[in-house]
Amino acid sequence: KYSPNAIIIVVSNPLDVMTYQAHLTSGLPRTKVMGMAGILDTARYRAFLAEELNVSGKEIQAILMGGHGDTMVPLPRYTTVAGIPVTELVEKE
């Protein structure tokens, strides 16, 4: 009613369920409701690394590939901490 051109971007878990519920509840067309899993998962990955390395998450550049969930994997080869490859800072395990 108040925002006829609104677009909803869901960044929550469980992403698929929450996005579908937002679509149903809002009554917006499915093209106006979307979920962003990658940003949430990347933020988590950065937070885990920051905690492990005792650095600010702002120092970490990271990327994840794949779909949200079990198929999403981190790419340590392309992850850096203040420009240093994370593979040089943490053990492979």
Residue numbers annotated as active site = 68
Question: Could you tell me if 49 and 79 are in contact, meaning their C-beta atoms sit under 8 angstroms apart?
Answer: yes
Question: Could you tell me if 8 and 33 are in contact, meaning their C-beta atoms sit under 8 angstroms apart?
Answer: yes
- What are the distances in angstroms from CA 8 to CA 1, 32, 33, 40, 59? 14, 6, 5, 16, 30
Question: Could you tell me if 66 and 72 are in contact, meaning their C-beta atoms sit under 8 angstroms apart?
Answer: yes
